[in-house]
Structure 1
């Protein structure tokens, strides 16, 4: 039920004629869950065995190529180290991934970044993007999330995606716009409220794409027919190339339970959609810039084997603790279902 807004009608933004939220009410804020329900379900015995077998094969290859991981449990690998160096060592082995999704540093002065010129940054990205191409299976995909930065003398808020889309051997299938509500407020320009995802594939005519797994059931006219047949797929509509997911939030009444101490954390809802669309269960999902390792948490919860690289010791510790907390939450959710 929506909550009525009581505002001073002398202001334009409080007038029902001008503000749809005042006219119709708003959904109350509430703290989001630690993970989407789909990541908390128990696996079948058959899937559990497939994951264990894939984990064992992956562990053998990884250990021979780059040594023991920083942390490892069945279905989850985290390595501490530089992505370019680790990927270089993997390139000469039989390590292959079905899906890579990542968000590299944006070169905007964060504490965990090494400052580079625009040209240096593009060259660096080109290196690891092509390294990812080399370890991607023929039907595999690569999803790249990037924001904006300044190109001196040319632009203030230049989408990094526009500088990287053609800098690898991948075929760029399309751009997805991730729209969110909260963000930086600007006075001399429009306030930014989106980031880009670039959806790449290795083979433009043969790649994994599970549309039915990500269909949106929120259809305005679900019973509409044409020539006696329903117009919309019974599972829902194609979610399109504009996605609206809230960022990981703070605040006493609306803080995300999934929030960690990482300053640039993926919301699990976004990662869930990418993983479901571009991989299958008992396949390898990779993130070379793991951070708090949202990709790993989601991949593990959705029945994939997660592999992540992260060079910062603090974030490695954070990711491991997050994984352990997630496992406890998952165990609790399954025990409650058993009681029912």
Structure 2
């Protein structure tokens, strides 16, 4: 692999926990492991670290008031190892302030410091909409009925330069029925009521529609191969997995085959699995050995239902 971990004698567990055709998983503290990755060698860092939630979760999470200081040392390393045209995609869930129906703004405070202090550019903001998310927190949403269901994570697409590698032709959506009719029947060029001038170029068939920055991906995994295999092996699965389609979108959009993808907070290693399927090289770091053991079950017979 282009971005191999350098051998470090002081880490007894520095050998990969397991290896696949295109990547490897390492067990350990990612802040230590990442120091042995070469500068400018990673094309995409795609991760969803523990969120700054009001309640402590079993996978470990810093509180909102400490989250930014906890995260910034990782961010500095991310910038160092990222290729000049590489991208850093950060998925973050929101949180209410403890005991109050008002939101923490830690995601936005973190974004400002990532750009102002670490030196990242905000290439674009995305929103991951999960229509299947439960109505929480119950106190404000289902009991007092003073808030609506929170179904969106913010996703910051960051880069080292204003011009990271990206190609939206790799993530086109199927055309709507109305667009298919327009392509079939033609369109008379004219100015719309909004003032936009829609020329005859609008009816060119580009093999799909450009997706928006709102990614509607339900997270309804309940009987996947990963969960079935974990259950059969008596291993508790990771409780906060993001959908494979989420990882696939950014890997297709921001990398080419053979590029190197890193997830420094791998959890159940959805990112690594998606990278394996898409034939990207990949590295995954995870601190919890139970999650690493369980993640191996994603890779048994890769062509299985996931």
Inter-partner Cα distance in structure 1 for 2:83 and 2:100: 38
Aligned to 1:315: 291
CA deviation after TM superposition for structure 1 residue 280, in Å:
0.7
Confirm or deny that 1:87 pairs with 2:34: yes
Aligned to 1:74: 21
Inter-partner Cα distance in structure 2 for 1:283 and 1:64: 24
Confirm or deny that 1:329 pairs with 2:275: no
8 A contact 1:248–1:265 mirrored in 2 = no
Inter-partner Cα distance in structure 1 for 2:107 and 2:255: 23
CA deviation after TM superposition for structure 1 residue 166, in Å:
2.1
Residue 294 (structure 1) aligned to one of 249, 270, 275: 270
8 A contact 2:40–2:80 mirrored in 1 = no
8 A contact 1:144–1:198 mirrored in 2 = yes
Inter-partner Cα distance in structure 1 for 2:290 and 2:159: 33
Aligned to 1:192: 150
Structure 1 residues 112 and 196 mapped into 2: Cα distance closer, same or farther (>3 Å)?
Answer: same
- Give TM-score, length-normalised by structure 2: 0.79
Task: Please give the root-mean-square deviation of Cα atoms over the aligned residues, in Å.
Answer: 2.4
Inter-partner Cα distance in structure 1 for 2:172 and 2:211: 6
Aligned to 2:46: 101
8 A contact 1:146–1:159 mirrored in 2 = no
The correspondence of residues 177-188 of structure 1 with structure 2, limited to 5 A, is 177-185=127-135, 186-187=141-142, 188=145
Inter-partner Cα distance in structure 2 for 1:95 and 1:200: 15
Q: Which runs of 5+ in 1 are unaligned?
A: 1-54, 331-340
Inter-partner Cα distance in structure 1 for 2:226 and 2:248: 14
The correspondence of residues 139-154 of structure 1 with structure 2, limited to 5 A, is 139-151=85-97
The correspondence of residues 231-310 of structure 1 with structure 2, limited to 5 A, is 231-250=203-222, 255-257=223-225, 259=227, 261-310=237-286
Aligned pairs, how many? Answer: 265
SS at match of 2:283: strand
Structure 1 residues 150 and 230 mapped into 2: Cα distance closer, same or farther (>3 Å)?
Answer: closer
SS at match of 1:101: strand
Confirm or deny that 1:158 pairs with 2:104: yes
8 A contact 2:88–2:157 mirrored in 1 = yes
Aligned to 1:203: 161
CA offset digits 1:241-299 (Å, max 9, x no partner):
1111111333xxxx455556211111111111110111111010000000011100011
